Structure 1
Amino acid sequence: MNVDPLFHPGWIEFNERQWGLEAEHLTLTPDKGDAWRLDTVLYRNRRGRLVTPPRNPYLPIHFECSSERPASINRRKRMALTRLAERLRETGLGGSLSLSPVADDVRPFEWAQMSARPRFTYHLEIAGREERIDPSARKKARKCRRLDYRCEVSEDYAAVAGCLSGPESRKGFDYRLEAAELDRLAELMGPDHFVCFLARNARGEPMGTRVCLYAPGGHAMAWSAGMKTEAMKDGVNNLVAEEALAFFEAQGCTVFDFIGANIPPVAEMKEAWGGRLVCHFVISQRGMRQLAREAYVTARTLLKRESK
């Protein structure tokens, strides 16, 4: 069973149609035998270069190994990622590629003359989460309930898009998602893989939302979230998160990926839920300037060794 909802055919089709890309489901295996297998989805732009589609946290990667011995897993994963790095280099990058946390060995990409920088998120084990969550997060959700907010699974995509516009106006970025795009994605993925949580205040006005992708029995992902400015102090974010976690537990999901923890206030908010800090890597082609700098540093190091 694949635990990553980013492999869902509807998600892949949405990326192709929404951003004008061409997707390729890539499977890599050894030249002989079936000791390991790596699956991913690559996206090409109109120039044939590989890109990470907008609004994608990373490119999904699934790795399987026929052995349970740590030494064998390490070796075979390195081999699989080396093959992937070679394929990326041959095709060419149209920008930076964000890779799944599954690609936790970045050396093959560096060996293939790519640079890598770490990015972070939090993964919360949904079962037993009550013991991990900081009381402050629970307190804010209780405050929201006392103010007579309620949260529901909703197909009111106009209301959802309205809540997503809150952080857009405050922080100056664009989700590039209108009600029509949300409706299209819901149709492509279906209710078993796409869900919107919507919080309304006592007057029934939509004030906060969280749009999630998930694989029943696998991972759930906090794809997009937003709340209106006037509700920021009411604990709406926490109420919606609590309701989402309860929903995904009922779907048998094992891990909730908060998607991103690279900005100080965002990291502070997300760490309160007690998840595990997870690193993934963004890779890019090394430019001539960077290669020259690395050659200079290497030469200086060698000269210092020889002078001793």
Structure 2
Amino acid sequence: MMNDPLFHPGWIRFNEQRWGLSAEPLTLAPDKGDAWKLETVLYRNSHGRLVTPPRNPHLPVAFHCASERPASRNRRKRLALTRLADYLQQCEFGGSLSLSSIVDDVRPFEWANMAARPRFTYHLDIATREQAIDPSARKKARKCQRLGYRCEVTEDYDAVAECLAGPEVRKGFDYRLDATELARLAELMGADHFACFLARNAQGEAMGTRVCLYAPGGHALAWSAGMKTEAMKDGVNNLVAEEALNFFDRQGCSVFDFIGANIAPVAEMKEAWGGRLVCHYAISQRGIRQLAREAYVTARTIMRRESK
């Protein structure tokens, strides 16, 4: 079983259709035996370059090892990632490749003359969340309920898209999703891997949403979220997150990935849920621009030291 819902065939198909990409499932293994296996899904654009598709938090990676001994597992994982780095070294990138947090050793990529930039998210253990969540997060969800809000799993994709428009207006970005695209993704992935949570106020108006991808028994990803500006003070974001966690607990999911913690206000909001800070990496090739940037940073560091 794959823990990451980004391995789902419907998700892969959505990326191909929505962004005009070609998916390239990749399986690496030793030349002999079955001591380890690494699986991932890469995507190529129309020019044949490897890319991370829009709206993908990472490229999924699964590592299987026949031994649980730390020494054997570490060595075999290094060998597997070295094979992946060798493969990527032969390809042309169309941008950086954001890899799953399963890739926690970036040395093979650096040895292959690639650059690795750390990115962060929070992983919350769903089974033990009651002890982890800050009381303030629960308090805001209770306030929202007292105001008459209710949250449900929905197929009202027009209402979901309407809520997603809230942060687009406030923050000036584009989810690049409308109701039609949401409905198509729901059809491709099915209700056992795709869920929309919608909060309505006492008047029945849609005020907040969270769109999630999940693998029953595996990970749930907080893929997209949107709250109308007038509802933010009511704690609607907390109510929707709480409902999502309860839902995924019933589905047997093990981890809730809050997707992203690289912006200070976002990190502050997400850390209240008690998740573990997790690092994953964006891999890029060392072209002229990357080398120039590294030279600039090195020169500035030397100048600062000499000026002291």
Would the TM-score normalized by the shorter structure come out above 0.5? yes
Aligned residues: 299
When structure 1 is superposed on structure 2, of 89-98 and 263-272 the one drifting more is 89-98
* Residue matched to 1:181: 181
CA distance in 2, matches of 1:168, 1:96: 24
Q: Which amino acid aligns with 2:112?
A: A
* Residue matched to 1:228: 228
Matched residue SS, 2:77 = helix
TM normalised by structure 2 equals: 0.95
When structure 1 is superposed on structure 2, of 287-296 and 15-24 the one drifting more is 287-296
Alignment map for 1:1-308 (pairs within 5 Å): 1-288=1-288, 290-291=290-291
Q: Which amino acid aligns with 1:192?
A: D
CA distance in 2, matches of 1:194, 1:288: 41
Percent of pairs with identical residues: 80
* Residues 181 and 70 of structure 1: CA distance in aligned 2, closer, same or farther (over 3 Å): same
CA distance in 1, matches of 2:235, 2:158: 22
What do residues 150-193 of structure 1 show as CA deviations (whole Å, max 9, x unaligned)? 00000000000000000000000000000000000000000000
CA distance in 2, matches of 1:11, 1:295: 39
CA distance in 1, matches of 2:87, 2:161: 38
Matched residue SS, 2:169 = helix
Root-mean-square deviation (CA, aligned residues, Å) is: 1.6
* Residue matched to 1:306: none
Shift in Å at residue 225 of structure 1?
Answer: 0.2
Shift in Å at residue 293 of structure 1?
Answer: 7.6
* Residues 295 and 233 of structure 1: CA distance in aligned 2, closer, same or farther (over 3 Å): closer
Q: Which amino acid aligns with 1:161?
A: A
Matched residue SS, 2:90 = helix
When structure 1 is superposed on structure 2, of 83-92 and 192-201 the one drifting more is 83-92
Shift in Å at residue 86 of structure 1?
Answer: 1.1
Shift in Å at residue 144 of structure 1?
Answer: 0.1
What do residues 252-281 of structure 1 show as CA deviations (whole Å, max 9, x unaligned)? 000000000000010000000000000000
Shift in Å at residue 290 of structure 1?
Answer: 4.2
Query: Can you give the 5+ residue segments of structure 2 that lack an aligned partner in the other structure?
Result: 303-308
* Residues 237 and 107 of structure 1: CA distance in aligned 2, closer, same or farther (over 3 Å): same
Query: Can you give the 5+ residue segments of structure 1 that lack an aligned partner in the other structure?
Result: 302-308
CA distance in 2, matches of 1:188, 1:120: 29
Matched residue SS, 1:91 = coil
Shift in Å at residue 288 of structure 1?
Answer: 2.7
* Residues 155 and 292 of structure 1: CA distance in aligned 2, closer, same or farther (over 3 Å): closer
* Residues 285 and 143 of structure 1: CA distance in aligned 2, closer, same or farther (over 3 Å): same
What do residues 91-138 of structure 1 show as CA deviations (whole Å, max 9, x unaligned)? 211111100000000111111111111000000000021110000000
* Residues 290 and 212 of structure 1: CA distance in aligned 2, closer, same or farther (over 3 Å): closer
What do residues 138-157 of structure 1 show as CA deviations (whole Å, max 9, x unaligned)? 00000000000000000000
CA distance in 1, matches of 2:238, 2:145: 10
CA distance in 2, matches of 1:292, 1:216: 45
CA distance in 2, matches of 1:228, 1:264: 21
Matched residue SS, 1:123 = strand
* Residues 197 and 29 of structure 1: CA distance in aligned 2, closer, same or farther (over 3 Å): same
* Residues 28 and 229 of structure 1: CA distance in aligned 2, closer, same or farther (over 3 Å): same
Q: Which consecutive segments of 4 or more residues in structure 1 shift more than 6 A?
A: 292-297
* Residues 158 and 290 of structure 1: CA distance in aligned 2, closer, same or farther (over 3 Å): closer
* Residues 75 and 142 of structure 1: CA distance in aligned 2, closer, same or farther (over 3 Å): same
Q: Which amino acid aligns with 1:242?
A: E
Matched residue SS, 2:58 = coil
Matched residue SS, 2:191 = coil
